[in-house]
Amino acid sequence: MIQITGLTKVHRGGGPPVLLDLTFEARPGAVTALLGPEGAGKSTALRLMLELERGRGVTLFAGRTYRRLRRPEREVGVLLSGPVDAPGAADLAGHPGRKARGHLRMLAAAVGVPARRADELLERTRLAAVAEQRLRAYSPGMHRRLALAAALLGEPGTLLLDAPTEGLSPRNVEWFHAFLRSFAADGGTVLVTTRTPQEASQLADRVVTLDRGRMAADESVTEFRRTRLSPEVAVRGPQMARLADLLAGQGAQVRRDGGTELAVSGVGRTEIGELAYRHGILLHELADRVVERPAPRADLRVVASGPGRPRTPEAAAAPVPEDARAATTEQAEQAERAERAERAERAGQVGQHDRTVAMPVARPRALAAAARDAEPAPTLALPVAPPPAGGSSALTAPVASAAPGPRRGARAVTRRAVEAAEAVEAVGGPGEAAGTAWPGRRGGGRREDETSPVVAVDRLFRDGLTGLARSAQAPAAASKAEAHERPGEAADGLLGDDTVRLGRVTRPQPDRADRPAPDRPVPHRSASPGAAPAGPVVPVTSDLRSE
Amino acid sequence: MRVLAYELRRVRGLRSTWLLLGLVVVCDAVVAGVLAGQVGDRTLGGAAAVRLLTAAVPLVPLPFAALGAGVLGALAYGHEVRHRGLAASQVSYPRRVRLLTAKLAVTGALAALLALVTLLIDAVTVHFALPAGVTVAAWSDPAALSARVAEALAQSGPGGLVDVLPPVAAPLALVAGQGAPAALLAFVLLVVVAGWTGVLTAALTRSATAGVLLLCALPPLLESAVALVLRQSGTPWPARAAELLPFPSGIEWAYGWVYGGDGRVAGGGVLSAAPALTDPALLAAAVAPVLVLLLVTLVVQARRRAL
């Protein structure tokens, strides 16, 4: 078990922090991957954990810092990718003039284990045959395996590996993966860094994504696969335009890759093949592949006091726990947000300007009333809106269309429909049919909703109601006014939503109850539990609590 | 104990160690042979004999053996920095100090061995290379010889060699009659000190190359400093040494002073060497730099995170 808390590193000369408040855990029996591009701070994080560099934050290996471990080699095996101050020797496990067996025996003496342990490890890392060769004859893969053997000399229960498979041949990579998986399966704790999402998804049970020193996401590998990797089918052939039309008709998403290639998602390979066969379309290639989606970007806005100004290290490094954590969670949401926006567009009629309807819900009663008086259009919009039945069918449509997509989409859209109905009720619209319709649907939503972030609901709620507003053909002027209002609010909303989500993760019940209504323009952090809006909003909060 | 075992394995497992040791011994022997061949005098004085045995060459800051020991020491540390085996095992300060101590111990022992071996080899070489007709002062008094040799070897290390290698031990006695054991002991000490200095300078600079360069730069610097100290303390320092400052008298400084610092004096009459070695000022002059370096290294290590 490695507990990493608040690792922060700022260079003395200033500049943005190399690492900012990295907090996560690596559990026994699992492989944890630290994923990030070059320069994201992975190696720095590892070196900080071992206290090889000066920095802030605490890392506990079974309750002790590395420096305080009685016999560190017996508890933590370390494989670093070469010392920073000697770049030439980066990939070497030891002195090039030494023989592998002698090298390991020497290290065994340092660790305090019998020399035959070195021979065992040479067998285990498949180096026994070349144990009498000098290290300068070793390939990078052999060097890396030898370094791993050295790290394993003390039979540690924890492994800390910095890019163990970087630059290795596929066979070596495979060997490393198998080894690390089995090490974790035996109950060991493994923490590796990697640059490629594919490797992280193959190797790890838990993936922590770093972006420019900030934690962008900390998720299980299944979630990681869903959010960062998506399967698609590559199709090549001479008649791609026609196939693209056919596939689009089937509800697949088709992207053109050059003149003769399509990237299709949403439809299986076999279906595409059959479709092509039935329509007599010639195919040259039909292959599954995995596409990587862009990594979530760390949101630097929260630490804007840091990077922007000329600052002292203090200012930049001072960990503001809540904000920083909010930032990381927030960032984890960004990919989803993008996805959601896309899906919202896809959902057809659902437009952009829900605010007219949503606002009254969010505001305290007096405000809402004032708003109703001041802006007749939104309140009128609902009564004029299509009859409840029509409304509810319009709301279910997105659900259906989103069904082929990932689960979260469907779930979110369901929730959106629920919330929309709720809002209809809260505003006092003619919600009889909607009201009867939605409890069942809410049940469905709840079933799926075990892990769904509240943020998603909030965001989609806005988008969802827009549909209503638009279908009611609300006056353009009103919607334009709302559009003006939007950016600032959106920013506040992001911050607030994530805070809310964070709260929900730690203390599920109370925070959910406290959760302010979605479109409240003030930052949610400032909302105290007692300040829950009264009046028309009450049903909303109580419903949420019941969830 | 573990670090000692580690360090021994480390030194043993490297080819460069053995190459370096061999190179030093061969160099020493060759230089000693050449110097012996150039001896023109009919009688070989004590100082000249010591110079032959230690293969001292003017203008080289340190004798070969000392230089070799220094390089070994510097490499011992430089390798640790450059090719460290266990990435993070030296994070805690006590462990680093322990490793440093082990390195000093192993390097010191190795340096002492190297000094003795070079002395032996050089003695053999000089014995064979001396031109015919040159008489060594020590030879003329065979009665005292065996006692002197035994004393010399007992003082400078393994006494059992007398029985094992009589032909080798005999040439060694060519300086025995001149109070040479003390000089040779000083030589051994110098080599050991050079080895430690190598380790410590490399520890300060975290680089074997820089460590060796610093080691070579130290004697000329120290020479002037020591001269200054001796002058201040009132100890008679030969005027000649001051004249020859800063550089060429390095060798004289190193073990010339055991004879009183003057070859002519040493050649003319037999001076007792014991007082020179036990002279606290001189002892301090030889050991102080290492102690200072050690202190600085320990302080610097406390500020570091790794070796």
Share of chain A above pLDDT 70, in %: 52
On whether residue A466 sits in a domain, the answer given is yes
- pLDDT recorded at residue A363: 41
Total of domains in chain A: 3
In angstroms, the CA B180 to CA B50 distance is: 7
Q: How far apart are CA A509 and CA A518, in angstroms?
A: 17
Task: Provide, as residue numbers in chain A, all residues whose Cβ is less than 8 Å from the Cβ of B206.
Answer: 85
Give the number of other CB atoms < 10 A from CB of residue A233.
Answer: 23
Do residue A280 and residue A160 come from a single domain? no
Please check the confidence at residue A437 and state whether its pLDDT lies above 90.
Answer: no
CB contact under 8 A, B2 and A105: no
CA distance A56 to chain B (A): 14
Mean pLDDT of chain B: 71
Question: Which residues in chain B are contacts of A86 at CB distance < 8 A?
Answer: 81-82
Which tokens belong to A124? 């285990």
Cα angle B301, B304, B307; round to 5: 70
Local confidence band at A523 (pLDDT 50, 70, 90 cut-offs): very low
pLDDT of residue A268: 85
- Shortest distance, CA B113 to any CA of chain A (angstroms): 22
A178 in the same domain as A240: no
Cβ–Cβ gap B306/A52 under 8 Å: yes
How confident is the model over B181-192, as pLDDT tens digits?
A: 566 777 788 889
- Residue A405 above 70 pLDDT? no
Three-state secondary structure call for residue A92: coil
Where residue B70 falls among pLDDT bands split at 50, 70, 90? very high
How far, rounded to the nearest angstrom, does the alpha carbon of residue A242 sit from its chain's CA centroid? 36
What average pLDDT does chain A have?
67
* Domain identity same for A73 and A163: yes
Last residue of a domain, one of A170, A187, A213: A213
Question: Closest residue of A to B306, CA-based?
Answer: A52
Closest of A182, A186, A180 to residue A151, by C-alpha: A180
Q: Which of A257-261, A522-526, B98-102 has the lowest mean pLDDT?
A: A522-526
Q: Which of residues 91-150 of B touch A (CB under 8 A)?
A: 91-92
Residue A263 three-state SS: strand
Chain A residues close to B9, C-beta within 8 Å: 102, 105-106, 109
Whether residues A209 and A260 share a domain: the answer is no
Q: Out of A244-258, A524-538, B180-194, which region has the weakest mean confidence (pLDDT)? A: A524-538
**Chain B residues with CB-CB distance to A97 below 8 A:** 14-16
Residue B170 pLDDT class (50, 70, 90 cuts): very low
| Final residue belonging to a domain, choices A183, A213, A243 | A213
**Are A181 and A284 members of one domain?**
no
- Smallest CA-to-CA distance from A143 within A118, A165, A158 is with A165
| Tokens linked to A389 | 């039945």
Domain that holds residue A260: 229-292
**Phi, psi (5° rounding) for residue A125?**
-95, 15
For chain A, say whether B16 makes contact (Cβ under 8 Å). Answer: yes
State whether B83 and A72 contact (CB < 8 Å). Answer: no
Shared-domain flag, residues A263 and A403: no
Question: Is any Cβ of chain A less than 8 angstroms from the Cβ of B42?
Answer: no
Q: How confident is the model at residue B150 (pLDDT cuts 50, 70, 90)?
A: low
Statement to judge: residues A270 and A167 lie in one domain: no
User: pLDDT tens digits for B71-127?
Assistant: 999 999 998 888 877 877 788 888 899 999 999 999 999 999 999 999 889 888 887
In sequence order, which residues have a C-beta less than 8 Å from that of residue B232 and are 6 or more positions away?
none
Residue at A297 is within a domain:
no
Interface test with B, best of A51, A106, A117 (most B CBs within 10 A): A106
Query: Does the pLDDT value for residue A421 go beyond 60?
Result: no
Name every chain B residue with its beta carbon within 8 A of the beta carbon of A67: 91-92
Q: How far apart are CA B73 and CA B57, in angstroms?
A: 22
Is residue A287 within 8 A of residue A251, CB to CB? The reply is no
Average pLDDT over residues B265-280: 38
Work out the angle at residue A328's Cα, subtended by the Cα atoms of residues A28 and A498, and round it to the nearest 5 degrees. Answer: 115
Same domain, A261 and A392: no
Tracing tokens 């808390």 back to the chain, one arrives at A5
Q: Are residues A471 and A516 located together in one domain of the fold?
A: yes
Predicted pLDDT at B263: 37
The reply to whether residue B13 touches residue A99, judged by beta carbons under 8 angstroms, is yes
How much is the pLDDT for B58? 65
With a pLDDT cut of 90, the percent of chain A lying above it is 24
What range does the domain containing B50 cover? 2-303
Residues of chain B contacting residue A102, judged by C-beta atoms under 8 Å apart:
9, 13
- Cβ A150–B86 below 8 Å, yes or no? yes
Please give the residue that has the higher pLDDT: either A275 or A393. A275
Question: Which candidate from A94, A98, A112 shows the least CB-CB separation from B2?
Answer: A112
The answer on A27 and A152 residing in a single domain is: yes
pLDDT-based confidence at residue B33 (cuts at 50, 70, 90): confident
CB of A54 within 8 Å of a chain B CB? The answer is yes
* Contact status of B303 with chain A (Cβ, < 8 Å): no
> Is A304 a domain residue?
no
User: What beta strand segments (E) does B41-157 contain?
Assistant: 43-44, 135-136
Inter-chain residue contact A107 with B85, CB threshold 8 Å: yes
Structural domain includes residue A157: yes
Total domains in chain B come to 1
Q: Return the CATH number at A249.
A: 3.30.70.980
**Beta pairing partners, A288:** A233
**Residue A40 belongs to a domain with what CATH number?**
3.40.50.300
Taking an 8 Å cut-off on Cβ atoms, the answer to whether B89 and A73 are in contact is yes
Q: Looking at the structure, do residues A143 and A183 belong to the same domain, yes or no?
A: yes
Same domain, A336 and A274: no
Q: Which token pair is B250?
A: 């390095």
- Quick check: bond before B246 cis, omega within 30? yes
Q: Please state which of the ranges A83-87, A114-118, A363-367, B266-270 shows the lowest mean pLDDT.
A: B266-270
Q: Nearest chain A residue to B4 by CA: give it.
A: A110
